Structure 1
Amino acid sequence: MRRAQMQADYLAAGGNRHPAASDWNSSGVLAFGAERNIALWKPQSKSEGVYDFLSGHTDTVNATKFLTDDILLSGSVDKTVKIWKKSVDRYSCIQTLSDHGASINCLATGSGIFATGSADSNIKIWALDEQDNAVLQQSISITPRFFPLALALSPLDGTSNSFVLAAAGTKDIIQLYVSDSQEGPDFKLQATLSGHEGWIRSLEFTTENGSPDSDLLLSSASQDKYIRLWRIHQGNELPAAAANADPSLGAFLPGKSLSNKAHHFKAQGLDFSATFEALLLGHEDWIYSTKWHSTGNILQLLSASADNSLAIWESDASTGVWVTVARLGEISSEKGSTTATGSTGGFWTGLWSPSGSTVVCLGITGSWRVWNMNREQDRWVQDIGISGHTQSITGISWSKDGNYLLSTSSDQTTRLHAKWKHGDQTSWHEMARPQIHGYDLNCIDSLAGSQFVSGADEKLMRVFNEPKAVARLLNQLCGFGNSDVEQMPDAANMPVLGLSNKAIEAVDDDHEVPASHHTDRDAVDPASVVRKSTLELDHPPFEEHLSRHTLWPEAEKLYGHGYEISTLATSHDGTLVATACKASSIDHAVIRLFETKTWHEVKPPLTAHSLTVTRLRFSPDDKYLLSVGRDRHWAIFERDEAEKATYNLTKADPKGHTRMILDAAWASMTVSAFATAGRDKQVKIWSQDEKKEWLHKSTIVEDGPVTAIDFHENNLAVGLESGIFKVYVIDFEKGSHQQLPITHPISSIYPSKAITQLAWKPFGQEKGGSAELAIASDDSSLRVYSIDFSVV
């Protein structure tokens, strides 16, 4: 029996906007929440992006934390904490903790124990037994009541019997709980640290130096735009900083609470004090995370802020004042970004690599930025990060020649993905972001040449042309190009108050750009002006380049529909675009055709449905146009031989399925057949007989609603609402089908939510050889798998 071998070529998903949703272990693996999945990535492996997804949660992942290199904890909005254990390079879930009554917001780990903080205003302490199962040790009900957003856990001294737990969140206080029980964790509230004037988003402990009796330092990051450092000191005498209120600690700030009150407590019969240590000033917006790292005797603190910057802080050797020694990212005043309550900026978390030679941060667009320390130049150099959609991917389309893949999403962006060929290696990357929109995007299709058309919730379609900047980038990095490159505009820009990308010319580096006025709709944001030198790249573009310099200019708008665009399709010869919108009546459930030479609508519109048309597909030779809808109908329109832009209804089946039809696909050029898929859990195969009648040939029955299908030769890929996909071999003559067994080396091949679209790569495949399948999902993940059909 035939089998197929599958491997993952490309996995992409944006990170969740939560400061606790990522962690980096000492073996170089970074885990981050990506919608309801956990993505695994090795940032110091330049050409490798996400290499696996862990799925199991049923809602957004808010927190991840490595307890050891082999044990990963994750907390979710689904109120559960999952424990994942590594075995032969794969992590699998070994336990699910369901003791909390609300969303899990934060995790903290210690030696053999960990803490979970939830929006039920409880903190729970857990210990691992010999089989690595978590056993509940203690429940702490937070008083006064607040939601914990940050936890930090540390041994209080050289022994592992006493621990200190810091908790903070939706109040401006930090609570210190101390446990010194021999039998097990028994945390009691010992101190309440005040001073912040906003919610506290991050807490992190470190030892000041490597000695056994070293003081503990606690960093706290707040929405009041300040970082505070606190010292936990053993002994009756107060540390020097607390005893002397030095102005360098920030006491010169008017109105700031800088109380040096010492909080005394006992543990293991020893005296301890907690005191305010320093106030770190420098960020201009909310601070989301702080992380400590020690290199030799130098202690450094990494902070990430909504002002679009990462800062690295050190204590000055001579004065003890904490100063910024490096600032990475963007200066918000120059880039036109807004605060955390706005839409354009913000770094949600920053992380150190185990060695401290690399830092990464997650931006508001879901993309990760990477910087490496260049020791020779003594500066941080930006490197290639990863990116992905942050909400449901609603449409994907390969370019007509199969060279790149376009994806569009409810996160209001369209992204272009392609293979970077560097040396003897190839790796997938996001190479351009052609459309950044103000409406949720619903559908996309490529046009012949370097064009695509997309539809959104704004009732119209927009057509985009490839700019010279992107064409040259793809040519240099991916090895394919467009012969009309000199005819293309240099790049595109989006006016400050507009939605339409305008074609622009790149300017010389010394060219001055006048300041924009937000009252002028056509004014250009100075930050998005393209300078010629910025277009010359020898690597995949970084996030700031993607979002500013890879827009595609808009060529046309297509009007006519009265409601949000639901689906569109382009003919294979590139001469027609078929579109439909959301509809609850016959009047709006029409299919409109636009010819691409003049972009005029072909009148009258095509009618066959009474509710929303969910999918449109042209046959491989463009002779037929197939439509399916929520009204359970499918219909076929045939092209007029004389008037190539005219299609006429030739067949309509009002009882094609018993529930709404969600997708349809044509078989190959050599077979007059198509498939329809519906919420009735069925895929039906239809083909033409000698009399040119369309007849039902066979039915594939699935376990759940079928949301996406696509053909490659006689192989039919089927995607379900559950996220599972299968490949069937269809025998059109016998009217039979057989599921193709697929082996794969990766642990989580299936998306964790509904598959929204499947698309086989149209070119570059030998018959019976391998093919590339792109999979889009509601879980915000985009996957490209290579499937080798030649395995026996």
Structure 2
Amino acid sequence: MLQITTEYLATGANRHPSAADWDESGLLAFGADKNVALWRPQDPNSKGILELLSGHMDIVNAVKFIPGSGAALITGSVDKSLIIWKMYEKTSFYSNQQSLNAHDKNHHQSSINCIAISPDSKVFASGSADAIIKIWALNDQNVASFQQSIEIKPRFFPLAIALSPLHGAPGSYILAVSGTKDIIQLYVLNGGASKEFKLQATLAGHEGWIRSLEFTEETEDPNSDLILSSGSQDKYIRLWRIHQGKELPAAAASADPSLGAFMPGKSLSNKAHRFRAQAIDFSATFEALLLGHDDWIYSTKWRRDCKRLQLLSTSADNSLSMWESDAETGVWVTTVRLGEISSEKGSTTATGSTGGFWTGLWSPNGKTVVALGRTGSWRLWNWDDQKERWIQGIGVSGHTQSVTGIAWSKDGDYLLSTSSDQTTRLHAQWKREGKASWHEMARPQIHGYDLNCIDSLGASQFVSGADEKLMRVFNEPKAVAQLLAKLCGIKGSHVEEMPDAANMPVLGLSNKAIEAVEDGQEIPPSDVYDRSYNNVDPASIIHKSTLDLDQPTSEEHLSRHTLWPEIEKLYGHGYEISTLATSHDGTIIATACKASSIDHAVIRLFETATWLEIKPPLKQHSLTVARIRFSADDSHLLSVGRDRQWAVFARDSDDKTKYEPLEANPKGHTRMILDAAWAPRTSKVFATAGRDRKVNIWAKRHVETSFTCKSTLTETVPVTAIDFLDSMIGDGLAYLAAGSETGFVAVHSVDFKNNFKVQTLAVYLPSHYPNPTRQVTQLAWKPTHAENRDGEPDVSLAMASEDSSLRVYSYKPRSSVC
């Protein structure tokens, strides 16, 4: 049996203001597709995502830790369910403690958008697209019980809710609700005989949807007023005061006419909204208007430090702002602004715009802040006491849509991935002072089409295919080569001949090689802008100092300065590219496209010396070719397709660029074949996997003239991805990994000397959540380059999934584990 260890987890966060929370223990949780990712941003080892929790059936929109619980959180999803997770100390893994789903008559009947938990952890509320707020009680074991349904009238969809105890009225709570209207509704739980929240006030003033609400106590005084922050699509933040007593707070009572001076033609209302709880009088009044953002405001988060109240806000204007009240005037002003500079607003994704920040969070000690951008990546800043400023640190990133293809470099130094999010990403290990951690090191391709497949052409070149009729070939730039050499110990060849970096022209799809400029060097207008189609965005001009880094690249750097220049386009197909493969010697590229007829279901070959197509194309299939694989010695080419057949082509002994049909089996499986893989060190054995839930092992003995099925592995669900390790294990054993439509993955051994008997070595245990939660799209063992092995080696397997996750796990024999 094999011991499984997590090496790397990468996935993008769901772009929703409520999809993340940071616990007092330093653990940050965020929704990632239908998983929940756990990350410690202040971990000095920079390990990135620690765990992916699976349990929801659709996108996770809302995540909240239960205050003071030690290790418990509540998540809400598009699947209409709430899950309460609890960490068990013995295993250190989180487990689903309680599921509250739509099958319960008291539960939501539509997507859950927001969750609010009272600071005393006794009550929480959930808001859904069914225009209903549900109130739940929590006991000491964090088990929830239904209390009340609140139908929002006038009807609107809640996007943000906030919940807090009312000081001075024990057992009473105040609930703020906002969403797809420009009002905030305040509901109060009396705490006496009444056990229901009732509408007590409606706060008006905003002129757009309200995306964020959060309560805080103004001071540490037990009788302190509550301050409510609200962030709106009208670009403004409003602060509201919840005050105990019949007398109004000083700011509201003064009715200062200057309050309206900031908005010409408008007067800010300071109307007092009075209500009672347990016979105690309270009032809700407008406190302050915060101006400074230039676009929609997505989130606001409070923090109190040394009796100083701070507010963190994020906006679609690509900025994160910290606000404080001036000690002398009481006016709220921006003290720190992080993110993008205004001159870069309006840039396209390709030229580096992050497209705004969806949420921002304080660390428990206030020394770190993080912000979630449009690309699903987290950006992080740490406070430097010596420099007295915020310094950008190492965040986490990942794909935000299905990961459609992965490929190791030929020597296994780094891993490439492509996705339906239209990006290609390069992942490698950062090695320093005895530590090693995986990170996204470069983003070679940012495209305008969904990317479907990728393969490496060597240490510094790759080819990718997308939902367009051509393939694109990319070369590594000097900036990336030097970064990989410095941080990862990956030595590239011909570095001096490489261009400094690459750029994408405005409205273009092809990355162009460019040279970096010296710091302070003035750029002539003709070098930055011309009247041709290939206009270059001035914001993307690269200075040499920006390419010299001491740590993994930030999201800003990834999207601007790590593109690879495109050197060639390969034409020939009539429809979207479905799959491609490169020969092990790097001389041939084989490609196929989506097809419904024999005319388009062909395999086209391109030789890399001149980038010309080798004609005629290979004809055998009648429907889309799902996978193409070269044998280890490149002597044979294997293809499988949706027409249920596999085909093998043999390389011409005289002309190494030509392949001829050798054999085909039109009934290889009873349903479409989705993947195939050659066994290591041979062109006599291969495996195929299909929707008929079977993995077939095909072999041709010395006396046999054709491939026959020697062994069959039957699964309970369709098998969508397989891969053989490239070296034999011990005496005649080979590792075969298989992934399924449901995300289940297992590693098997195939005994070549015992009639290809298949034995399962490792199955992922559900309690440890290593399985993807959607279809496994591709599996790839890290190259070992070993001719033979006496025992079981430590090897790594990369897996791509439709759940937007990229995972790398290492395997070692249990006998070698101390």
**TM-score, normalised via structure 1 length:** 0.97
Asked if the contact 1:52–1:746 (Cα under 8 Å) also holds between the matched residues in 2, the reply is no
- Alignment partner for residue 800 of structure 2, among 766, 770, 776? 776
Asked if the contact 1:195–1:257 (Cα under 8 Å) also holds between the matched residues in 2, the reply is no
Q: What is the rounded CA distance, in whole Å, between the counterparts of 1:561 and 1:525 in structure 2? A: 32
AA at the equivalent of 1:76: S
Q: What is the rounded CA distance, in whole Å, between the counterparts of 1:193 and 1:591 in structure 2? A: 65
Shift of 1:649: 0.4
Q: What is the rounded CA distance, in whole Å, between the counterparts of 2:151 and 2:21 in structure 1? A: 26
Alignment partner of 1:791: what SS? helix
Alignment partner of 1:58: what SS? coil
Asked if the contact 2:777–2:801 (Cα under 8 Å) also holds between the matched residues in 1, the reply is yes
Asked if the contact 2:631–2:682 (Cα under 8 Å) also holds between the matched residues in 1, the reply is no
Quick check: 1:436 aligned with 2:466? no
**Residues 461-493 of structure 1 deviation map (CA, whole Å, 9 limit, x = unaligned):** 000000000000000000111121011111000
Alignment partner of 2:394: what SS? strand
Distance 1:530 1:763, change over 3 A: farther
- Alignment partner for residue 310 of structure 1, among 315, 320, 324? 320
Quick check: 1:120 aligned with 2:130? yes
Aligned to 2:731: none
Aligned to 2:285: 275
Q: What is the rounded CA distance, in whole Å, between the counterparts of 1:224 and 1:8 in structure 2? A: 44
Aligned to 2:751: 731
Quick check: 1:409 aligned with 2:409? no
- Alignment partner for residue 771 of structure 2, among 750, 767, 778? 750
Quick check: 1:362 aligned with 2:386? no
Asked if the contact 1:335–1:527 (Cα under 8 Å) also holds between the matched residues in 2, the reply is no
Distance 1:446 1:338, change over 3 A: closer
Q: What is the rounded CA distance, in whole Å, between the counterparts of 1:183 and 1:662 in structure 2? A: 63
Aligned to 2:475: 465
Q: What is the rounded CA distance, in whole Å, between the counterparts of 2:372 and 2:440 in structure 1? A: 16
Computed over aligned residues only, the root mean square deviation of the Cα atoms, in angstroms, reads 1.7
- Alignment partner for residue 713 of structure 2, among 688, 695, 700? 700
Quick check: 1:789 aligned with 2:789? no
Aligned to 2:562: 550
**Residues 712-759 of structure 1 deviation map (CA, whole Å, 9 limit, x = unaligned):** 130100001110100111012312111114587982110110100000
Aligned to 2:578: 566
Alignment partner of 1:469: what SS? helix
Quick check: 1:446 aligned with 2:456? yes
Aligned to 1:709: 722
> How many pairs are equivalent?
788
- Alignment partner for residue 489 of structure 1, among 499, 516, 532? 499
Shift of 1:514: 5.8
Structure 2 residues not aligned, in runs of 5+: 102-106, 729-733
Distance 1:178 1:472, change over 3 A: same
Aligned to 2:653: 641
**Residues 178-231 of structure 1 deviation map (CA, whole Å, 9 limit, x = unaligned):** 112236741000000011111110000000000011110000001111100000
Q: What is the rounded CA distance, in whole Å, between the counterparts of 2:779 and 2:260 in structure 1? A: 57
Quick check: 1:20 aligned with 2:18? yes
Aligned to 2:78: 77
Aligned to 1:164: 174
Aligned to 1:680: 692
**Residues 241-282 of structure 1 deviation map (CA, whole Å, 9 limit, x = unaligned):** 112244664533124451111000001211111001111000
Quick check: 1:106 aligned with 2:114? yes
Shift of 1:159: 5.2
Shift of 1:333: 2.7
AA at the equivalent of 2:495: V
Asked if the contact 1:514–1:526 (Cα under 8 Å) also holds between the matched residues in 2, the reply is no
Q: What is the rounded CA distance, in whole Å, between the counterparts of 2:348 and 2:229 in structure 1? A: 26
- Alignment partner for residue 720 of structure 1, among 701, 718, 740? 740
- Alignment partner for residue 538 of structure 2, among 526, 540, 561? 526
Quick check: 181-190 or 403-412, which moved more?
Answer: 181-190
Q: What is the rounded CA distance, in whole Å, between the counterparts of 1:540 and 1:103 in structure 2? A: 37
- Alignment partner for residue 156 of structure 2, among 143, 146, 162? 146
Asked if the contact 2:746–2:764 (Cα under 8 Å) also holds between the matched residues in 1, the reply is no
Distance 1:256 1:41, change over 3 A: farther
- Alignment partner for residue 426 of structure 1, among 436, 443, 449? 436
**Residues 64-106 of structure 1 deviation map (CA, whole Å, 9 limit, x = unaligned):** 0011332210000001111111112221111111210100000
Quick check: 1:348 aligned with 2:361? no
Show the 5 A alignment for 1:310-329: 310-329=320-339
Structure 1 residues not aligned, in runs of 5+: none
Shift of 1:332: 3.6
Asked if the contact 2:402–2:803 (Cα under 8 Å) also holds between the matched residues in 1, the reply is yes
Q: What is the rounded CA distance, in whole Å, between the counterparts of 1:374 and 1:256 in structure 2? A: 42
Q: What is the rounded CA distance, in whole Å, between the counterparts of 2:462 and 2:59 in structure 1? A: 32
Distance 1:386 1:609, change over 3 A: same
- Alignment partner for residue 41 of structure 2, among 33, 40, 43? 43
Asked if the contact 1:350–1:359 (Cα under 8 Å) also holds between the matched residues in 2, the reply is yes
Asked if the contact 1:332–1:338 (Cα under 8 Å) also holds between the matched residues in 2, the reply is no
- Alignment partner for residue 275 of structure 2, among 257, 265, 284? 265
Q: What is the rounded CA distance, in whole Å, between the counterparts of 2:376 and 2:699 in structure 1? A: 44
AA at the equivalent of 2:779: L
Distance 1:21 1:334, change over 3 A: same
Aligned to 1:92: 95
Alignment partner of 2:393: what SS? strand
AA at the equivalent of 2:752: F
Aligned to 2:104: none
AA at the equivalent of 1:731: D
Alignment partner of 1:172: what SS? strand
Shift of 1:791: 2.8
Asked if the contact 2:776–2:801 (Cα under 8 Å) also holds between the matched residues in 1, the reply is yes
Q: What is the rounded CA distance, in whole Å, between the counterparts of 1:302 and 1:518 in structure 2? A: 41
Show the 5 A alignment for 1:278-293: 278-293=288-303
Alignment partner of 1:727: what SS? strand
AA at the equivalent of 2:36: I
**Residues 755-792 of structure 1 deviation map (CA, whole Å, 9 limit, x = unaligned):** 00000001377832110100100000000001013637
Q: What is the rounded CA distance, in whole Å, between the counterparts of 1:126 and 1:344 in structure 2? A: 37
Shift of 1:550: 0.2
Asked if the contact 2:84–2:97 (Cα under 8 Å) also holds between the matched residues in 1, the reply is yes
Distance 1:282 1:252, change over 3 A: closer
AA at the equivalent of 1:279: L
**TM-score, normalised via structure 2 length:** 0.94
Shift of 1:677: 0.2
Asked if the contact 1:586–1:611 (Cα under 8 Å) also holds between the matched residues in 2, the reply is yes
Distance 1:655 1:164, change over 3 A: same
Q: What is the rounded CA distance, in whole Å, between the counterparts of 1:672 and 1:31 in structure 2? A: 48
Higher relative contact order (CA 8 A, sep 6+): 1
Asked if the contact 1:418–1:428 (Cα under 8 Å) also holds between the matched residues in 2, the reply is yes
AA at the equivalent of 2:723: D
Shift of 1:130: 4.4
Alignment partner of 1:386: what SS? coil
Q: What is the rounded CA distance, in whole Å, between the counterparts of 1:512 and 1:190 in structure 2? A: 62
Asked if the contact 1:402–1:764 (Cα under 8 Å) also holds between the matched residues in 2, the reply is no
AA at the equivalent of 1:66: F
Q: What is the rounded CA distance, in whole Å, between the counterparts of 1:491 and 1:453 in structure 2? A: 18
Quick check: 1:592 aligned with 2:604? yes
Q: What is the rounded CA distance, in whole Å, between the counterparts of 1:159 and 1:781 in structure 2? A: 47
